C-alpha cells in the first residue's frame, strides 16, 4: 500500500532552462540482457474507470497513452539498479479495458472494497495473468478512512491464481508510475522499506521527492523470495513459477522492452504538470536549470509553484538526456 506525502500508514494486506518535448522521440530503451539471469515476465490486465475517463475529458486516446506511459516507466524502474541484478524484466500489457459498469465505487469511496469487487469480477475468467491493475480517477479512501492512499496491492499475490492479484492505483497524475512500481513490488513480495533503508525509495510507505528507485532492502527481499520460489518443490508453486517464466500469452497489446519507437515512451515535463495540477501548469522554467526534475518536478502557473513528484522514467531533462532512477543521464 502506498499513501501520500503527509500520512504514513503501514497496512500489510494479506500479511531546465525549460526543456520541451523533442519532436523526434528517443530510441526505445533496450536493457542489456544478462544471460546469467532468469527472465521474469509480468503480464497485466489494465482497467480504467469512468471517473478517469471524466478526468481525461473523455479523450480515450490520451487516457490509453497515459496508461502505457505509466507501465513503461514502471518497467524501466525494474530494469534499473539494483533490480536488474535479479532478473531480466519483461512487462506485457495483455489488454486495456474500461471497467464494467457492474463494478462500482461505494458512496464512502473505499478503495479497498472497489479493488475487491474487481477481483471478484475477474474470478469469472480463466485468463492467466500476473496482476490486474485498476487505474481510477477517484481520490479514494482505505477502509473508509481518509489516509491519502495512492495504491493498494496484496503481498505475494502475483501469478498466484488462488490469491487476490488485483491492484488499484489512484491515476490522477503521472505519479501513478512510481505507485504502480511500488504495488507490483508488494505483489512480488517486497514490503515497505524499514528504518535501515530510510524513506527515499520506491518501497517507502509514502510517495514524495526523489523516490524513484528501489533500495537494497527491496533487492534483498525480492532476491530471497525468488530463491525460495524457484527452488520450491511444492506443486502449488510450480504454476506460479510457470507464470513468471513461461506465460501463456496470445498477442499481448504491448510488450516491454519494445523494438520500435512508440509515442508514449517519453512524456514531457509540461504534460506531467498539466495532468497533475491543471492545464495552466507547466514545468517551471526558473527552477528547471537549478533543480533536478528527475528527483523533484516543480510546476508553475505563473502565480504559484508546486512540486508534484519525480519526473517519470525517460522524461527529457536536458539536451539528449533523460531521467533514470531519479537522475538526469544521457
Record the cell numbers describing residue 291, joined without a space: 533543480
**pLDDT tens digit sequence for 203-228:** 998 888 889 999 999 999 999 999 99
CATH number at residue 302: 3.40.1620.60
Residue 254 assigned to a binding site: no
- Asked whether residue 283 is domain-assigned, the answer is yes
Q: Catalytic residue among 107, 170, 183, 313, which?
A: 183
**pLDDT tens digit sequence for 243-278:** 999 988 888 999 999 888 888 998 999 999 999 999
Using DSSP's 3-state secondary structure scheme, residue 163 falls into coil
In this structure, the answer to whether residues 173 and 55 fall within a common structural domain is yes
Residue 192 assigned to a binding site: yes
Residue 183 designated active-site? yes
Query: Rounded to 5 degrees, what are φ and ψ at 166?
Result: -95, 130
In this structure, the answer to whether residues 169 and 295 fall within a common structural domain is no
Q: Which domain holds residue 79?
A: 2-15+33-247
Counting the structural domains of the chain, the total is: 2
In this structure, the answer to whether residues 60 and 200 fall within a common structural domain is yes
In this structure, the answer to whether residues 182 and 318 fall within a common structural domain is no
d(CA 278, CA 33): 40
Residue pointed to by grid coordinates 508546486 = 306
Region 172-182: mean pLDDT is 96
CATH number at residue 97: 3.40.390.10
Q: What is the pLDDT of residue 318?
A: 85
Is this model's pTM higher than 0.85 or not?
yes
Record the cell numbers describing residue 197, joined without a space: 533503508
**pLDDT tens digit sequence for 97-126:** 999 888 888 888 889 999 999 888 887 665
Q: What is the pLDDT of residue 143?
A: 63
In this structure, the answer to whether residues 240 and 286 fall within a common structural domain is no
In this structure, the answer to whether residues 54 and 186 fall within a common structural domain is yes
Given a cut of 50, is residue 21 above it in pLDDT?
A: no
Who wins on pLDDT, 291 or 38? Answer: 38
Q: What is the pLDDT of residue 3?
A: 55
Confidence band, pLDDT 50/70/90 cuts, at residue 137: very high
In this structure, the answer to whether residues 162 and 290 fall within a common structural domain is no
In this structure, the answer to whether residues 118 and 172 fall within a common structural domain is yes
Given a cut of 70, is residue 33 above it in pLDDT?
A: yes
In this structure, the answer to whether residues 235 and 292 fall within a common structural domain is no
Region 33-44: mean pLDDT is 93
Name, in order, each residue with C-beta under 8 angstroms of 24's C-beta and a sequence gap of 6 or more: none
In the chain, what percentage of residues exceed pLDDT 70? 86
- Asked whether residue 133 is domain-assigned, the answer is yes
In this structure, the answer to whether residues 211 and 298 fall within a common structural domain is no
Mean pLDDT of the chain: 86
In this structure, the answer to whether residues 106 and 194 fall within a common structural domain is yes
Residue 305's DSSP bridge partners are 300
Who wins on pLDDT, 321 or 224? Answer: 224
d(CA 73, CA 173): 13
- Asked whether residue 276 is domain-assigned, the answer is yes
In this structure, the answer to whether residues 89 and 205 fall within a common structural domain is yes
Q: What is the pLDDT of residue 202?
A: 96
Amino acid at each position: 500500500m502506498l499513501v501520500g506525502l503527509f500520512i504514513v500508514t503501514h497496512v500489510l494486506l494479506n500479511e531546465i532552462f525549460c526543456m520541451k518535448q523533442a519532436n523526434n522521440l528517443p530510441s526505445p530503451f533496450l536493457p542489456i540482457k544478462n544471460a546469467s539471469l532468469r527472465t521474469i515476465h509480468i503480464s497485466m490486465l489494465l482497467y480504467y474507470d469512468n471517473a478517469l475517463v471524466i478526468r481525461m475529458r473523455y479523450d480515450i486516446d490520451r487516457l490509453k497513452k497515459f496508461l502505457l506511459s505509466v507501465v513503461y516507466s514502471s518497467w524501466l524502474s525494474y530494469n534499473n539498479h539494483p533490480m536488474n541484478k535479479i532478473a531480466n524484466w519483461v512487462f506485457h500489457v495483455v489488454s486495456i479495458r474500461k471497467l464494467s459498469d457492474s463494478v462500482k465505487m461505494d458512496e464512502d469511496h473505499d478503495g479497498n472494497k472497489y479493488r475487491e469487487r474487481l477481483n471478484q469480477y475477474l474470478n469469472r475468467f480463466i485468463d492467466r495473468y500476473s496482476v490486474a491493475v485498476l487505474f481510477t480517477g477517484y481520490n479514494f479512501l482505505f477502509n473508509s478512512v481518509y489516509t491519502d492512499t495512492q495504491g493498494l496491492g496484496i503481498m505475494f499475490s502475483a501469478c498466484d491464481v488462488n490469491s487476490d492479484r488485483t491492484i488499484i492505483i489512484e491515476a490522477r497524475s503521472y505519479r501513478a508510475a512510481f505507485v504502480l512500481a511500488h504495488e507490483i513490488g508488494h505483489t512480488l513480495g517486497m514490503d515497505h522499506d524499514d528504518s535501515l533503508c530510510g524513506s527515499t525509495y520506491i518501497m517507502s510507505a509514502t510517495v514524495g521527492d526523489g523516490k524513484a528507485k528501489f533500495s537494497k532492502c527491496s533487492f534483498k527481499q525480492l532476491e530471497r523470495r525468488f530463491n525460495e520460489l524457484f527452488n520450491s518443490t511444492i506443486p502449488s508453486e510450480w504454476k506460479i513459477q510457470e507464470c513468471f517464466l513461461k506465460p501463456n500469452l496470445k498477442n499481448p497489446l504491448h510488450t516491454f522492452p519494445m523494438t520500435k519507437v512508440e509515442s508514449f515512451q517519453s512524456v514531457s515535463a509540461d504534460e506531467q504538470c498539466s495532468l497533475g495540477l491543471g492545464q495552466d501548469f507547466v514545468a517551471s522554467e526558473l527552477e528547471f536549470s537549478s533543480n533536478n526534475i528527475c528527483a523533484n518536478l516543480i510546476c508553475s502557473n505563473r502565480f504559484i509553484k508546486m512540486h508534484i513528484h519525480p519526473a517519470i522514467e525517460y522524461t527529457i531533462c536536458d539536451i539528449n538526456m533523460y531521467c533514470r532512477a531519479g537522475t538526469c543521464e544521457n
